[in-house]
Structure 1
Amino acid sequence: MQCLYCHCDDCQRVHGGAYLPAAMYLTSQTSIVAGDPILWKLRTTERATCRSCGTRLFAEPPGFGVRSITASLLPEGVFRPAFHMQCQHAVRPIQDDLPHFKQFPAIFGGSDEKMLW
């Protein structure tokens, strides 16, 4: 599992915020235990929304084999972010001690280029 903040413009649109706190798990490590979520796409990423209440549950970015779980759905204390990514789309600079990657970090096939706020 990788906990992170995503600043991509898709996450901003879908979640109505400047960034999304998320936990990335291998898809094989997750399962839907109840309900039948609505699956849909904004551009290329498949997303799941609760059919009953409309809560955004997760996204599955193509080509990574991961499921990005919305961090607010995790048990308390599980979300411990390691970095920010897609900061080229950041609404405003975030000042904290975490790395701020311009696009994707190397663990997701990116260049590890950082933003110099």
Structure 2
Amino acid sequence: MVTVQCYCGAVRMELTGEPLAQFYCHCEDCQAVHGAAYLPAVMYRIPATRLVAGEPAYWKLKTTVRAFCRECGTRLYAEPPGLGIRSITALLLHQGLFKPTFHIQCQHALLPIKDTLPHFKGFPAMFGGSDEQVSW
């Protein structure tokens, strides 16, 4: 079990089991919501996540509901509709626990990212995509 919390500690969540995926998201929604070129994310099924302190506030920019701390504004997680998953902001994990294995939505990347991970143009097949990659 892993515990994550917002930066002020008002909201805490327990994550159980292994994550479904760990990746960097370059979609326009994540860029706009987080004010960043991409977002490190770790994905769990909702039942494997449990709020143990505090109550986040919820909002959505387009279609994805997102949770944040009412006190400090830390972005906590997103819940893409119909998938039964929570995409936790990986910056909340303890150092060394985030082990990304790919990038997604690279068609929206602001700049090329040069690393050894796969860079999917949209979504990988495991997310219902085509596995098409970009070559930088």
Q: Fold conserved (TM > 0.5)?
A: yes
**Aligned position for 2:26:** 7
Deviation readout 1:68-92 (Å, 9 max, x if unpaired): 0001111221100000000010000
| RMSD between superposed Cα atoms in Å | 0.7
SS of residue matched to 2:119:
coil
Q: Does residue 89 of structure 1 match 2:104? A: no
Q: Does residue 70 of structure 1 match 2:89? A: yes
Provide the C-alpha distance between the structure 2 equivalents of 1:64 and 1:18, rounded to a whole number of angstroms: 24
Provide the C-alpha distance between the structure 1 equivalents of 2:26 and 2:76, rounded to a whole number of angstroms: 17
Asked if the contact 1:84/1:101 (under 8 Å) is kept, the reply is yes
Q: Which amino acid aligns with 1:3?
A: Q
Instruction: State the number of aligned residues.
Output: 117
Q: Does residue 115 of structure 1 match 2:134? A: yes
Q: CA deviation at 1:63?
A: 2.3
**Aligned position for 1:37:** 56
Provide the C-alpha distance between the structure 2 equivalents of 1:26 and 1:3, rounded to a whole number of angstroms: 13
Provide the C-alpha distance between the structure 2 equivalents of 1:76 and 1:30, rounded to a whole number of angstroms: 19
Q: CA deviation at 1:32?
A: 1.2
SS of residue matched to 1:102:
coil
Provide the C-alpha distance between the structure 2 equivalents of 1:40 and 1:32, rounded to a whole number of angstroms: 17
SS of residue matched to 2:67:
strand
Provide the C-alpha distance between the structure 2 equivalents of 1:104 and 1:65, rounded to a whole number of angstroms: 17
Where do 5+ consecutive residues of structure 2 fail to align?
1-18
**Aligned position for 1:20:** 39
Moved over 6 A (4+): none
TM-score by length of 2: 0.84
SS of residue matched to 1:33:
strand
- Higher CA-based Rg: 2
Asked if the contact 1:64/1:108 (under 8 Å) is kept, the reply is no
TM-score by length of 1: 0.97
Where do 5+ consecutive residues of structure 1 fail to align?
none
